[in-house]
Amino acid sequence: MSAPGIELVDMIGGLLSFLLTLCVFSYLLGDNVLFRLAIHIFVGVAAGFVAAMALHSVIWPQLFVPLIGSSLTEKLWVLIPILLSVLLFTKAVPRLSTLGSPVMAFLVGVGAAVAVGGALLGTLFPQFRAATQLLNMAALQASGKEVGLELLNGVLILFGLVVTFASFQYNTSLFKNPSIRALWNMIYWSGRVFVAITFGVIFAGVYLASLAALTERLYSLMVFLFNLFSLAG
């Protein structure tokens, strides 16, 4: 008795997936009610999922559990984020919005610090370290690879890294010497070339991922229609 129930649930899920996919594809004919309905359903489901995850992973274990079964000291520590949250909600009231400004400043400051620290420690420093390690002759010889080719690869990567960072300096008026200014312009445009190549590769990857998702959706539609016709036959 369980197999027919499972098949019915699968068929209902497949039918909903089929209809929603057609609603999204209807955007090819222009903006319409069906496409907006599918987008609203997607946004609603995503918002509900995020809210459920926040309640299950953050609010309940980090707020309610310490308030219910913890010591007095831990409860007092939990009252601090509760107070900050209440002050943050005052930003919705114009007369009380100044009370939430320190909390907003604190959030922006922490977010900026985390972003800058993550960029430096997680991206820039490791990138420089990895680029300089490519020029380590002892490591290249011990790896057993072609030293000349690996050294050329390391020089190219290090050059691209340096000129890309330098290309974000737009003020060429700092250099009074025409020769230095011309050299800086060459470095600047070399960095722009590397940036353009990077964006092109990223766009190609996104495009290929979109094609893969489209192919998967079309294949799912074909499988659903085949199963539907098989059951009808």
pLDDT in tens, 202-224: 999 999 998 888 888 888 878 87
Cβ atoms of 110 and 84 closer than 8 Å: no
Q: Which of 144, 191, 186 is nearest to 167 (CA)?
A: 191
Mean pLDDT, all residues of the chain: 82
Domain boundaries, the chain: 167-233
Verdict on whether the full-model pTM lies above 0.75: no
SS3 assignment, position 152: helix
3-state helix, strand, coil in the chain (%, to 5): 90, 0, 10
% of the chain residues with pLDDT over 90: 18
Q: Is 45's pLDDT higher than 90?
A: yes
Question: Could you give phi then psi for residue 119, rounded to 5 degrees?
Answer: -65, -40
- Residue-wise pLDDT for 168-179, tens only, equals 776 656 667 777
State the residue for tokens 């008026």.
173
Helix pair 97-119, 72-89: axis angle to 10 deg:
110
- pLDDT, residue 181, reads 76
